[in-house]
Chains A and B, each alone.
Chain A
Amino acid sequence: MENRLLVLARLFAAAPGFVVRHRIVILTMVVLISVLQAVGVATRTRIDISTDSMIDQTDPAIAALNAFRTQFGSDDSLFLVYEARDGDIFSARSLAATRALTESLRDWRSLDVSRYDADLQELDQIRRVQSVTTLRVQRVDGDTLRSERLVPDDIPDDPAQLAAIREQALAEDDYRLAFYSDDARFGALLIQTTFGARPLEGYVPAVNAEDISLDDAFSNFGGDGGFELAFDEQATIDEVSFELVDMAEYKVFFTAVSAVLADYEADLAFYPAGNPSLMSWVFDVLQQMLWLAAGVVAIFIFLLRALFRSFSAVFWPIITIILSLLWSWGITVWIGATLSTMLSLTVMLVFAVGIADCVHVMSAYFVFREEGKSHESALANAYEKTGLAILVTTITTMAGVLALTGSDLVPIKVFGFMSALGVFMALVFTVVLLPILLSIWHPAPAKVAGTSRLLSYWVRWQQLSRKTQAAVMLVLLAVLFAVTGIAIGFYIGLTVLVTMAVVRWQSNILAACPNWARRRPGTILGVFALIFGASVYGTSQVNIDSNVAELARESSAPRIAYNMVDEHMAGAQTISVMIDTASSDGLLEPVVLKAMEALQQQVATHYRERISRTYSLANIVKDTHQVMNQDDPAFYRIPDDAVTVSQLMYLFNSANPEERRSLVSDDFSRSHITLNTYNAGSYEYQQVISELDADIARIFEPVRALFPELQVTVTGSVPVMMRAMDEIAQSQYSSLLLALAVISAIMIITLGSVQAGLISIIPNLIPALMTFGLMGLLGIALDVDTLLIAPVIIGIAVDDTIHFMTSYRLELIKTRSMPQALNNTLRDVGRAVMFTTMILGLGFAILGFSEYLGIAKVGIFGGLAILMALLCDLLLLPALIIKLQPRFGIKGDMESFSDAARSPVTVAATSSERR
């Protein structure tokens, strides 16, 4: 095994020379294939940003939801909550503003387009606008039913009249909390849209075909008596498919609505909730992601330049990474796969892995250049030293992302495949292309330490007096914080300080680590054991929970809106209980309506905390029954016979068929109960849903005698999406554990000994465990976003450990001395590990600025995980190696740490002892 590893290392050493000799052929091929890939990227890229694509359409819950949508239509509405600036939505001023706004949105075609900097044409998606000014209230006056506007056409000025309107409104239970809050400070406009209900572009109804005619049965009737229309159950029904809605459409629609809202800001403050506003926000966040990604790349470049002090050492690695991305992107689209928004994650991953590969090579290269070696031999030595580790890290990272291809969801599969491909391409280009590029333009011979510009500044800085230093620092910090704000200022300050410290003291830090590890291995192991224990405990406390509103920061618009709706109104989300009697006119049977009523009562008494209100056909029947009986409240009940129910349904039947269809199927076999719910996480939703299932089974049991095929299903877009998310999260959690297991197995095989493999697993586990543990201790839930990116972060975090262990083993084989191998490894790999930690840690930390907490959490906890991995490599691994003295399966004589203790070796003295 040791020999095979040495052979591999030698192969890597020979690689630069080989590829440089064949550079013409290789460059030509790379250029040609790159052009081909560029063509693919330019012409064949399809990015699906519809939210439905992230959900497994074969999931039974989704199938039920689709059946529900087909039957009852889309409920994609904008729920526009507003607060009256004067504290009363029933004041003359607030009512006038509400009416004017309602009319503007309904009748937007009459608005002066030039006054708005948005495309008002997008308001065409509005199907219906309801507000307190459009509501009608039912009044029974003797034998007359009056349906009058709650707010008269002429809004009165008289406070007494306004108070009467308010009083009447608050007495309407069907409207309260849906259109105004109990204290009348908040109101709401319900803007129903056609999103998701538009047939696919280019859809042509089958009846448009030539020679289609009406069946003669429609005309064959006699003069007297009725007739029965012939029917054919074999007839082909032309099912209409609807356009999937992508975020960009929500965005332009919401922008147009917002433009109109601006006119009424003086009187009303708006808090828009519902899918269009949320998706519009997500769209903005995705745009912000592009900027953040650019920021990450910028910080990569800045740090590479600062650490290597050479432009060619920055330029070529970036080129290799861009080519890796281009090829993996190109190959993926040439295969015909559709990309998703997860593309940005692939870009980040490939950048991270590519940077790590290049930093290790370049760092080793600079060490050899500093020793005075020529460009060619320094490069050969650098590849010999790092090639094997790069290979292993590539394999482990690929294993981590390939674990995602087990997902049922196509976008995640594509993400896993494309990322694995990108990581692989990064390895290929680092080995094959980077040496050629460096042969064209490479860093000048190493400068003498201390002559770099940064260091010369440092020297001058040190010559200043303490007071001057303090004053300058304060002024700089004040300017920085004033210009950028506290968070960004802190980030920039930290970056600069860390960079200066690493540039100035890297050798000191790296030399101190093994010394410390040798003097106090017990203390270090103890501290890490404590961290490990706390992390394990914290991990046991972590919840897997996805909460739509909590994806946004506390101060963000959607979060504020959702809190408002939950606090003052009936909540912005709905659960639907679909009732299918599988029998025509089943819904007209009193036993069914009574069961629905009973379930609604059960919900009203036992689910107060979660569900604010319910509505169903039963409400309509009871209302009509009361109204038709002189408004006597004693008749607010379901009648006992089906004939009376049928007749009470008469007026409802005469309503707009689209509206009727949204509540009950045309043959009255299916209907649903709408439950308005407060926002909650997937975990709570699951609990509510399972409790509801139990109540439904009990309450609907008597109905089964009449309708043996009865099906009652709990569904609705948000809860079902939550359930789907939870399932993704759970499965990702499993694939994460799988990835860790695979990585550990690879380590055991590569390191040639179970003992060494197990030693390396500990520092691999700690960053992951600490991240989850910290989230558990802080009460932050692991959601679907975090879990999708976790394997990526952990893959990157373990890379450094792999470099460390692989290098240590190679050094052990060469030097046959544990202390020397440890010192050499820390000095050579330690520097690269420190650099990659800095670059990737600070790079990922930028994501912490994201408005989208799913990404921000990844940035912050990912950065912490990478930092923890560094501490593990610099302190824990040396301590473990010193305590356990593993031989990595290497036979023969070897100087152990105990031997060395008898003849002390100082760390600083080893640099010339190499080889």
Chain B
Amino acid sequence: MQLFKRRLLGVLLLSTALISGVSAQSPADGRAILERVEDNQRAIADAAFNRIQLSSCRFGLQNSQITCAERARVKALESVSINTGANNRDTRSISIVLEPAAERGISMLSYTYDDASQDNETWLYLSALGQVKRIASGNSDDESEPASLFGSEFTTEDQDTGKLEDYTINVLREGTESGREVWLIETIPNEKRSRSTRYARTVQYVDKERFVVLRADMYDRTGREIKRLMASRVEQVNGNWMARSLTMMNLVANRLSNMAILEINSDVEIPENFLTPRTLTDVAFREAELQRIREQVE
């Protein structure tokens, strides 16, 4: 069966991994810059409660502006995540679909482990069937196919956290993007990594002051740019700079997905038993706990 053959690992992490920002410092090289971005991503994922809206559409140009050419398909979700384990490098997260109505209540719980020998775990709950299934998927990266975030243009290959050692990193030059001073940093996957990604090269535009990725261009093996990420609405949230609107454009299919972080809250107190399979099936428990979390952030 085709659909379960995909590696679903990391789908949920992705929503937080793409949000980056760190207090200003001037690292000496590209790897250091990106490490700062990584560290910050983990910090933001910790004890976080987010509301995200994903809008996907076919795009076009009107008056030199990139815009949707059709009504966007919208998915909205809430997610809660905490970091656990040694050095806080393991992650537990849950995502619950709010929209569209037909998918309302679909939930996914994920445990990802930093230790490569330990298999990641995922539970899926389909509300219409009232069924929960644990999905066993290996931790190895071999032959993994990129998975999509809720059917959007964002995929697991767009950002792999904690794998910087698999890349050659070069600072290409300095420049400006959206009126901000940036470093253009190129990442090239090594042989092993290049097996599981279509990107032969990515160029990230990192804000020199705020450490936010403002733009990323993804190239395939023939040197053609196939996808482009554009960040906007860069704001300071809880002391960290972050882009609250991320737009991923597929330049071949002419489709884009916009991820709007409607709400982001770090350092929320989340009871550990919330991130267990019980939350998926026990609606009363889930709603009561979610209510407590919402009250914290209001």
| Residues of chain A at the chain B interface (Cβ within 8 Å) | 106-107, 109-110, 124, 134, 136, 138, 143-147, 174, 198-199, 205-209, 211-219, 221-240, 584, 588, 620, 623-624, 627-629, 641-644, 646-648, 650-657, 659-661, 666-667
**Binary per-residue interface labels of chain B (37-53) against chain A in the complex, 1 for a CB within 8 Å, 0 otherwise:** 00000000000000001
Contact B128–A644 (Cβ < 8 Å): yes
Give the distance in Å from the alpha carbon of A219 to the alpha carbon of B143 in the complex. 37
Contact of A145 among B56, B126, B133 (CB under 8 A): B133
- Do A235 and B67 form a contact, CB below 8 Å, given A146-B136, A226-B99, A659-B145? yes
B173 within 8 A of A: no
B64 within 8 A of A: yes
Apart from A240-B251, A657-B155, list 11 A-B contacts with CB within 8 A: A143-B134, A207-B249, A223-B263, A234-B62, A235-B67, A236-B60, A237-B69, A620-B2, A647-B103, A655-B148, A656-B145
Contact of A651 among B4, B100, B255 (CB under 8 A): B4
**Binary per-residue interface labels of chain B (126-143) against chain A in the complex, 1 for a CB within 8 Å, 0 otherwise:** 111101111111000001
**Binary per-residue interface labels of chain B (1-16) against chain A in the complex, 1 for a CB within 8 Å, 0 otherwise:** 1111110100100000
Give the distance in Å from the alpha carbon of A492 to the alpha carbon of B149 in the complex. 69
Query: Separation in Å of the A665 CB from the closest CB of chain B?
Result: 10
Give the distance in Å from the alpha carbon of A283 to the alpha carbon of B230 in the complex. 45
Give the residue among B4, B132, B151, B250 with the most A Cβ atoms within 10 A.
B4
Of B160-168, B205-213, B217-225, the one contacting chain A is B217-225
Give the distance in Å from the alpha carbon of A216 to the alpha carbon of B76 in the complex. 20
Give the distance in Å from the alpha carbon of A229 to the alpha carbon of B230 in the complex. 16
Contact B147–A654 (Cβ < 8 Å): yes
Which chain A residues lie closer than 8 Å to B222 at the CB level? Answer: 124, 198
Give the distance in Å from the alpha carbon of A646 to the alpha carbon of B151 in the complex. 12
Contact A667–B4 (Cβ < 8 Å): no
Give the distance in Å from the alpha carbon of A882 to the alpha carbon of B65 in the complex. 87
Contact of A650 among B1, B53, B124, B233 (CB under 8 A): B124
Give the residue among A134, A218, A667 with the most B Cβ atoms within 10 A.
A218
Give the residue among B58, B65, B195 with the most A Cβ atoms within 10 A.
B65
Contact of B68 among A146, A232, A628, A646 (CB under 8 A): A232
- Do A235 and B151 form a contact, CB below 8 Å, given A147-B5, A240-B254, A647-B106? no
Which chain A residues lie closer than 8 Å to B70 at the CB level? Answer: 231, 233, 667
B22 within 8 A of A: no
B292 within 8 A of A: no
Query: Separation in Å of the B199 CB from the closest CB of chain A?
Result: 13
| Residues of chain B at the chain A interface (Cβ within 8 Å) | 1-6, 8, 11, 53, 55-62, 64-74, 76, 99-100, 102-103, 106, 124, 126-129, 131-137, 143, 145-153, 155, 191, 194-195, 221-222, 224-225, 228, 230, 232-233, 244-245, 247, 249-255, 258, 260, 262-263
Which chain B residues lie closer than 8 Å to A642 at the CB level? Answer: 102
Give the distance in Å from the alpha carbon of A648 to the alpha carbon of B128 in the complex. 9
Query: Separation in Å of the B198 CB from the closest CB of chain A?
Result: 8
Contact A221–B262 (Cβ < 8 Å): yes
Give the distance in Å from the alpha carbon of A727 to the alpha carbon of B147 in the complex. 44
Query: Separation in Å of the B84 CB from the closest CB of chain A?
Result: 22
Contact of B151 among A234, A584, A657 (CB under 8 A): A657
Which chain B residues lie closer than 8 Å to A240 at the CB level? Answer: 251-252, 254
Give the distance in Å from the alpha carbon of A222 to the alpha carbon of B233 in the complex. 12
Give the distance in Å from the alpha carbon of A781 to the alpha carbon of B186 in the complex. 59
Which chain A residues lie closer than 8 Å to B245 at the CB level? Answer: 218-219, 221
Contact A231–B148 (Cβ < 8 Å): no
Contact A110–B191 (Cβ < 8 Å): yes
Contact B61–A238 (Cβ < 8 Å): yes
Contact of A654 among B11, B57, B67, B244 (CB under 8 A): B11
Which chain A residues lie closer than 8 Å to B233 at the CB level? Answer: 218-219
Contact B69–A650 (Cβ < 8 Å): no
Give the distance in Å from the alpha carbon of A228 to the alpha carbon of B134 in the complex. 34
Identify 14 residue pairs between A and B in the complex whose beta-carbon atoms are under 8 Å apart, listed by A's number.
Answer: A138-B4, A207-B228, A214-B232, A215-B62, A226-B76, A231-B72, A236-B62, A623-B3, A647-B127, A657-B153, A659-B145, A660-B151, A666-B73, A666-B255
Contact B55–A620 (Cβ < 8 Å): no
Contact of B129 among A136, A629, A652, A657 (CB under 8 A): A629
Which of chain B's residues has its CB closest to A205's CB?
B251
Give the distance in Å from the alpha carbon of A134 to the alpha carbon of B67 in the complex. 40
Contact B148–A237 (Cβ < 8 Å): no
Give the distance in Å from the alpha carbon of A479 to the alpha carbon of B80 in the complex. 87
Contact B148–A656 (Cβ < 8 Å): yes
Which chain A residues lie closer than 8 Å to B53 at the CB level? Answer: 221, 226-227
Contact B249–A647 (Cβ < 8 Å): no
Contact B262–A235 (Cβ < 8 Å): no
Which chain A residues lie closer than 8 Å to B127 at the CB level? Answer: 647
- Do A232 and B62 form a contact, CB below 8 Å, given A647-B127, A650-B103, A666-B56? yes
Which chain B residues lie closer than 8 Å to A212 at the CB level? Answer: 61, 64-66
Contact B146–A656 (Cβ < 8 Å): yes
Which chain A residues lie closer than 8 Å to B62 at the CB level? Answer: 215, 232, 234-236
Query: Separation in Å of the B58 CB from the closest CB of chain A?
Result: 6
A-B pairs, 10 with minimum CB distance: A235-B60, A653-B151, A646-B102, A231-B68, A219-B233, A215-B67, A237-B60, A235-B69, A235-B62, A652-B3
Give the distance in Å from the alpha carbon of A107 to the alpha carbon of B146 in the complex. 17
Give the distance in Å from the alpha carbon of A235 to the alpha carbon of B63 in the complex. 9
Contact B131–A629 (Cβ < 8 Å): yes
Query: Separation in Å of the B62 CB from the closest CB of chain A?
Result: 4
Contact of A207 among B57, B61, B148, B195 (CB under 8 A): B61
Contact B258–A218 (Cβ < 8 Å): yes
Contact B3–A624 (Cβ < 8 Å): yes
Which chain A residues lie closer than 8 Å to B133 at the CB level? Answer: 143-145, 627-628
Which chain A residues lie closer than 8 Å to B263 at the CB level? Answer: 223-224
Give the distance in Å from the alpha carbon of A234 to the alpha carbon of B131 in the complex. 44
Contact B74–A647 (Cβ < 8 Å): no
Give the distance in Å from the alpha carbon of A643 to the alpha carbon of B69 in the complex. 27
Which chain B residues lie closer than 8 Å to A238 at the CB level? Answer: 60-61, 254
Contact B147–A655 (Cβ < 8 Å): yes
Which of chain A's residues has its CB closest to B149's CB?
A654
Query: Separation in Å of the A712 CB from the closest CB of chain B?
Result: 23
- Do A236 and B102 form a contact, CB below 8 Å, given A205-B251, A229-B68, A660-B151? no
Give the distance in Å from the alpha carbon of A229 to the alpha carbon of B71 in the complex. 8
Contact B191–A221 (Cβ < 8 Å): no
Which chain B residues lie closer than 8 Å to A650 at the CB level? Answer: 103, 106, 124, 126
Give the distance in Å from the alpha carbon of A644 to the alpha carbon of B136 in the complex. 23
Contact B5–A136 (Cβ < 8 Å): yes
Contact B232–A124 (Cβ < 8 Å): no
Query: Separation in Å of the B195 CB from the closest CB of chain A?
Result: 6
Contact A655–B232 (Cβ < 8 Å): no
Which chain A residues lie closer than 8 Å to B147 at the CB level? Answer: 654-656
Contact A655–B3 (Cβ < 8 Å): yes
Contact of B134 among A145, A174, A236, A656 (CB under 8 A): A145
Query: Separation in Å of the B55 CB from the closest CB of chain A?
Result: 5
Contact of A232 among B3, B69, B145, B149 (CB under 8 A): B69
Which chain A residues lie closer than 8 Å to B151 at the CB level? Answer: 653-654, 657, 660, 666
Give the residue among A143, A213, A644, A651 with the most B Cβ atoms within 10 A.
A651
Which chain A residues lie closer than 8 Å to B135 at the CB level? Answer: 144-145, 147
Give the distance in Å from the alpha carbon of A205 to the alpha carbon of B250 in the complex. 11
Give the distance in Å from the alpha carbon of A588 to the alpha carbon of B73 in the complex. 14
Contact B61–A236 (Cβ < 8 Å): yes
Query: Separation in Å of the A480 CB from the closest CB of chain B?
Result: 53
Query: Separation in Å of the A33 CB from the closest CB of chain B?
Result: 44
Query: Separation in Å of the A397 CB from the closest CB of chain B?
Result: 48
- Do A147 and B134 form a contact, CB below 8 Å, given A106-B195, A234-B62, A655-B2? no
Give the distance in Å from the alpha carbon of A174 to the alpha carbon of B1 in the complex. 8
